[in-house]
Amino acid sequence: MRIFFVTSNEAKFREASLVLKEFGINLSIDTNHRKVEIQSDNLEDIVSNALRGICNGEVSDYFVVEDDGLFINKLNGFPGPYSSYVYKTIGLAGILKLMSGVDDRTAYFKSVVGLCGPKVDIKLFTGVVYGRIAVEPRGTEGFGFDPIFIPDGYDMTFAELGIDVKNRLSHRARAFRALGNWLLSNL
């Protein structure tokens, strides 16, 4: 089975491809569609709206869209769905400055993966991983907030753990694994 991932993020594509390969599913980047993101505090709404724009008629292929965010408890869930923008504007240093002197460093990453296609209107899959915010960036692998997120049960950041470990426990891997399991059972 082949699915098209509507994304311009090569790192997300690589992670998702490795997970879906476990299920015998071939993931390809879709260059014909553009993921339109509405402004919303709700990842499910963002993904659903993007998929409605892609599968807004008769389609013969299956498409996936993914959106995610870093939710920091002490910052009332900030940056959440605005993580990409926050990363581009204030970066890791800005988040760490906001967390300066804060004892409660708990946070979680949440990913929502959506599917649409010929036999599926819109189906959503969610993955969450809990952890905490590091005091300083650590590691060189990964992307985005990986250098400052330490998943529960580990003392290293996602950027230190590398893609193989990250893909066993990350929010995105969990959401794509849920998609893979659903596809094997339903299509």
Q: DSSP secondary-structure letter at 148?
A: G
**148 — alpha (psi -120 to 50), left (phi > 0) or beta?**
alpha
Q: Distance between CA atoms of 65 and 115, rounded to whole angstroms? A: 7
C-alpha triplet 40, 45, 46: angle, nearest 5°: 65
- Given 67, 121, 146, 164, which residue is catalytic? 67
For this structure, is 30 an active site residue?
Answer: no
Strand pairing category for 26-29 and 2-5: parallel
| Token pair recorded at residue 44 | 């499910």
Smallest Cα–Cα separation from 15: which of 125, 182, 129, 167?
167
Tokens for 113, please give them.
Answer: 């993966």
- From the number of C-beta atoms within 10 Å of its C-beta (0-12, 13-18, 19+), residue 84 rates as middle
How distant is the alpha carbon of residue 106 from its chain centre?
18
Catalytic residues, by residue number, are: 67
